[in-house]
Structure 1
């Protein structure tokens, strides 16, 4: 499948890519800037980097809406607003009570080195840039020669290049442009569609009945699994990193609440355009719904802005997750075997290489964005959620108990998932893998949680 862009459209995309390279060549600072941008993020920068980072799976959103209608918002929007609000109100005030640079660093301080290493492995999986490499590769492969895997490799090199010198500072600077492009692109497409077609008169009658129902014809057990996977928000390393990089807790808290509003606006734009696409292009490939819709209805120039916005939406998440995964593998794992005279960024750069190779392998094995999200969330979240949340409290929990909790909460879902994969008969007892993993973690950690709190020596 190919999308035809004019030279003017390609020029807009070229300017965007050139800007990324220009930022990558600018002067940078010390290691604290490399990891957390000097802990000086203001509200506007905080909002733009947080909002733009959250939407890398844009083709998957179009595909899911095409197939299941407004249940896309009910599954991928609504629960995340709730947990983001909980994060803002209850977790952010606790963040500054701990001096740490990442979730594995927090786990190490509270529970010991071994749980920290295990959490670093788990976090490196949850922030794998694989889904976003896949989408970015697909977007470039339909406008330029080469398959998606070829372009995934090229974009991995590009992202690594502009992150290589200055790390998180580069992520923040590129996210500003990407924020502008992603909103401008979808606002333009939505405006053109609204001008030419009435939603109630032209679109709604053409939509399948279940597309206007919250469940979209999906089972409640499946939907509930996605609601639990939305707990991802509470342990998302990107959230923690940006809150730690904010200049103070109030900035992070207000920025998070404002971000929820922007997420709601962008969700409305992506949902409505996908519903228009479902009605106007019923025979389209669902995965490429947005590019096909834009190609058909946008003129030269505006098509270039939209397509660049589509790519910017993915790249904002790709570079953020590449950086966090590189930081996790490099700073939180490799740095335990320090080489004399080597800086933090030395290890993070090795992390880029490792996570890049692993991500390419992952998209080769599971070439589906939604499947990657579901698999990663189902297998990893049960092991992380309770240890991370309890780390902010004052109750003492032994290192061994945390290891037993994390190990079982990961291995049980893997076993559950493996039975379904190899037998092809569905999950045991019809239960999604997430639930037995979370239940194990609850059973192991709840007795410790009930004990009397002690003074937390990790706080300041």
Structure 2
């Protein structure tokens, strides 16, 4: 893709090029492709090393496989949490290219706020809990019916469809593969590295991928500023709406993400990392430090999207590569071959670090919290979790092919899953949780009405009453949860 972009830019700008110019452009593009290929080969060797290291036979108990023995230190906690929560980078590229600074308002601010609430009020409680997973917490407080309902919804929410889609798109751009083969390759590359190693394999790769993602965008933004200019250059070339906080969208289109972001309070990766932390202080401080790194990375990605929109305004036109290709397109314009190769590896690392974390959570949820529990908790829970990875891979591929928009997947899954889990999980940490029957009703009603909203929109092109699906879902789930509180805890 880099070579074709460079050649078409030359032809458009200069018309008929002299033979020497064409040869130079072709050689430059070929050199960039060769260096990128070499960098990808090194990255593949690193993944092979991880597989080799963690495929060796070893004795492991359930806590070791699921939570790395609850020994996560602060640096490992931060690196893994930061990298695991930022895999939808092509969705961010798409949004920042189309709406500018609204990317930070939508995908930054609300998530910082909810992460802060989680750090201050939930991280310590999660670490104190003996639970290994979110469904364990629901089962202990409400019983098996609520736990099973929560497990099914949690599995759908954590199956990393949006991130598998992003990885497939990147691999397709690099290799020319059609979407389906690229999705299959991407899913296989990621899932194989965690099959044997469990949580320890996830943490090991995340620490390296954390460094790569910051290195990649740390190269891109200064290069774009040097190549084009500073804030004045951007202001002169961006559409006016791109520098407004809403990006020219309606208020509801922005506000809905502040409700979707409340899913942070039921974020399974947060709970898993807090369960795995060596102590409560590590869990709480780890999230607070992570917020600072997210803020820095959001600044880099938003600036990259603004530069891409100002310098390459035709990406989203019919026949163009699309707004999701904004970062790769910008890199091909401003970075030399070696830096471009490092950026490409950083882009892959950003996505893959999230896929492995969410795929692991989804696999454990499917294999252990659903299948193993339905089997009467007989046999090895770890073996069931590994089986769950195959189901996770299939579900992720199916969702990615069904909804070929990364932002759309976030919107739909978050709108349905958040009303199901938000209030029941938050109330489960009370000394006397409410009655399970009312909580189950809140979960089914809240998720059901949000799902109905999504189905109606898919069929008619518009939401009932002009409301986004998360609003009626949260309202109904909140109402029934409030009734559950008034009814009081079960006696005895």
Normalising by structure 2, we get a TM-score of 0.89
* Partner residue in 2 for 1:281: 312
**Correspondence 1:411-450 to 2 at 5 A:** 411-424=448-461, 426-450=462-486
SS of the residue corresponding to residue 178 of structure 1 reads helix
* Partner residue in 2 for 1:45: 76
**Correspondence 1:343-358 to 2 at 5 A:** 343-358=380-395
SS of the residue corresponding to residue 146 of structure 1 reads coil
Distance 1:396 1:297, change over 3 A: closer
For 1:248 and 1:261, the matched residues in 2 are separated by 21
CA contact (8 A) 2:133 2:271 kept: yes
Instruction: Give unmatched runs, 5+ long, in structure 1.
Output: none
Matched, 1:311 2:338: no
* 1:447 Cα deviation after fit: 2.6
SS of the residue corresponding to residue 445 of structure 2 reads helix
Bigger radius of gyration:
2
CA contact (8 A) 2:148 2:369 kept: yes
**Correspondence 1:246-285 to 2 at 5 A:** 246-284=277-315, 285=322
**Correspondence 1:318-337 to 2 at 5 A:** 318-337=355-374
Bigger drift between 415-424 and 34-43 goes to 415-424
**Correspondence 1:359-398 to 2 at 5 A:** 359-398=396-435
Instruction: Give unmatched runs, 5+ long, in structure 2.
Output: 4-28, 316-321
Distance 1:340 1:318, change over 3 A: closer
For 1:135 and 1:90, the matched residues in 2 are separated by 33
Distance 1:375 1:452, change over 3 A: closer
RMSD: 1.7
Matched, 1:6 2:33: yes
Kindly provide the CA deviation profile for residues 397-446 of structure 1, in whole angstroms up to 9, marking residues without a partner as x: 2221111111001111111222222223x112111111111111111111
For 1:136 and 1:357, the matched residues in 2 are separated by 15
CA contact (8 A) 1:394 1:453 kept: no
* 1:267 Cα deviation after fit: 0.4
For 2:231 and 2:364, the matched residues in 1 are separated by 48
* Partner residue in 2 for 1:342: 379
Distance 1:339 1:382, change over 3 A: closer
* 1:86 Cα deviation after fit: 0.4
* Partner residue in 2 for 1:177: 208
* Partner residue in 2 for 1:155: 186
CA contact (8 A) 1:133 1:318 kept: yes
SS of the residue corresponding to residue 231 of structure 1 reads helix
* Partner residue in 1 for 2:258: 227
Bigger drift between 325-334 and 353-362 goes to 353-362
For 1:358 and 1:267, the matched residues in 2 are separated by 29
More helix by percentage: 2
SS of the residue corresponding to residue 468 of structure 2 reads coil
Normalising by structure 1, we get a TM-score of 0.95
CA contact (8 A) 1:178 1:312 kept: yes
